[in-house]
Amino acid sequence: MPPVARDSGGQLAGFHRMGDGIVDFGWSPRVTALREQLLEFMERVIYPNESVYEEQLTDAGRWTVPPVMEEMKREARAAGLWNLFLPDAKWGAGLTNLEYAPLCEIMGHSLMAPEVFNCNAPDTGNMEVLAQYGSDTQKSRWLEPLLRGEIRSCFAMTEPAVASSDATNIATRIDRDGDDYIVNGRKWWSSGAADPRCRVAIVMGRSDAKAARHEQQSMILVPLDTPGVRIVRSLPVFGYDDAPHGHAEILLDEVRVPADHIIWAEGKGFAIAQGRLGPGRIHHCMRLIGMAERALTLLCERVGERRAFGRLLSEQGVIMQWIADSRVEIDQARLLTLTAAWKMDQVGNKAARKEIAMIKVIAPQMALRVIDRAIQAFGGMGVSDDVCLARFYASARTLRLADGPDEVHREAIAKLELKHQADRKKIVGQGGAR
């Protein structure tokens, strides 16, 4: 196994002027200390156990939890490297998005790492929803065990029957019946639902077809052991099963849950989604930067030791160009991610939606280009499982879809830009651009 990336994300110290003000990307003493702790943990615990995790998973038939995962979680929790994602200090580490960014990036070096630190999707987004919108009962029943890493959860919005990138299409029914709701529908791509520790789904569905378009949908907690819930299958991603979490197709057939399982209130599905999908999606971008950093490190190490046609691969001009382009693109994406994180902290997720959409377009495509160059530099080994690159590629490719397709984010950016230009014109008048 080739050596691994030791660090990434050189500090962007000092102040940078952005369109909206002055940004300080420097690390606080707390973040500096957490980074050092995290880097040491990655070296000592995570990287050496990646192959152990895979072996245990395969030996046990894949849909069980490898014991090494729970051992690593215990150690991370005892070290205070736990729930770093949650900005609410009552429930989590209380870091801002900007503070969490360099830490999340380090976790992105390994596909296994985020779970070790209880910072994995989709549980992070679900915990944020429960912390922000959950009732006291929902918090004690679901949020607290999730925060302790004892159970896992899934988020079930996407449906096979409708174009789910437009969430107004979601057709699962959530109907009130006395003191209960009855849920009927078919979901797929519910990540994590196949995990034996997954106990609850946050299900999005239509509770009032006559309400205004963005008030028709609700989110409801559905315990997976409720009669009528059936995991039909787990969908592979480019052939990878992503065990033990999986991406499940779930049938919800006359599923009856008490009325107090609704989150916040009926019709609040879109309002919650706005909150949920902001930070969670930007975490994917932070991790993609870490993934790209590891790919670039692997590339550089490989080309520095392999010779072809009388010289090292690193002496080939084209390969030097790949290295240079990769460094430029990673650093560009990091700056944009930090800008989005800073803006979310300063003015909130809604006001930062253009920056969030921009980074969601850029980060997966950047990571795919860097990983692809590394695969090419590795030759045949690059597409094997002897190095993490093929798996990284599959994972990064899904993120051009899994958080909403690129095209939808681009449309959002364009609409916001057009509005900004129209507002500008009103202020400076016709001909202002000239």
Ligand X SMILES: Cc1cc2nc3c(=O)[nH]c(=O)nc-3n(C[C@H](O)[C@H](O)[C@H](O)COP(=O)(O)OP(=O)(O)OC[C@H]3O[C@@H](n4cnc5c(N)ncnc54)[C@H](O)[C@@H]3O)c2cc1C
> Is the bond leading into 244 cis (omega within 30 degrees of zero)?
yes
**By the rule CB under 6 A, 114 interacts with ligand X:** no
Looking at residue 161, its amino acid is A
Looking at residue 187, its amino acid is K
Residue span 371-410 as binding mask against ligand X, x where in contact by CB under 6 A, dash where not? ---------------------------x--xx-xx-xx--
CB of 407 to ligand X, least distance (A): 3
CB of 268 to ligand X, least distance (A): 17
Write out the binding residues for ligand X, residues 197-236 only, by CB under 6 A.
none
**By the rule CB under 6 A, 165 interacts with ligand X:** yes
Residue selected from 163, 414, 418, 428 as contacting ligand X according to rule CB under 6 A: 163
How far is Cα 297 from Cα 387, in angstroms, rounded to an integer? Answer: 12
Residues in the chain, total: 434
Q: Which residue lies nearer to ligand X by CB, 190 or 217? A: 190
Q: Are residues 275 and 133 in contact, defined by beta-carbon separation less than 8 angstroms?
A: yes
**By the rule CB under 6 A, 25 interacts with ligand X:** no
How buried is residue 231: exposed, middle or buried, by Cβ count under 10 Å (0-12/13-18/19+)?
A: middle
Residue span 339-378 as binding mask against ligand X, x where in contact by CB under 6 A, dash where not? ----------------------------------------
How far is Cα 400 from Cα 326, in angstroms, rounded to an integer? Answer: 19
- 126: how many CB neighbours lie within 10 A of its CB? 27
CB of 314 to ligand X, least distance (A): 34
The span of 97-105, 155-163, 302-310, 350-358 binding ligand X (CB under 6 A) equals 155-163
Backbone angles phi and psi of 97, in degrees to 5: -60, -40
Residue selected from 189, 322, 342, 392 as contacting ligand X according to rule CB under 6 A: 189
Residue selected from 411, 418, 421, 423 as contacting ligand X according to rule CB under 6 A: 411
Which residues, in sequence order, are CB contacts of 216 under 8 Å at separation 6+?
A: 168, 206, 207, 208, 209, 210, 267, 269
**By the rule CB under 6 A, 245 interacts with ligand X:** no
For 202, half-sphere exposure in the C-beta direction (CA atoms, 13 angstrom radius) is 28
Residue 58 tokens, joined: 């395969």
**By the rule CB under 6 A, 155 interacts with ligand X:** yes
Residue selected from 110, 118, 158, 314 as contacting ligand X according to rule CB under 6 A: 158
What SS3 state is found at 181?
strand
Q: Using CB under 6 A as the criterion, which residues of the chain lie in contact with ligand X when the complex forms?
A: 122, 155-158, 163-165, 189-191, 237, 247, 398, 401-402, 404-405, 407-408, 411
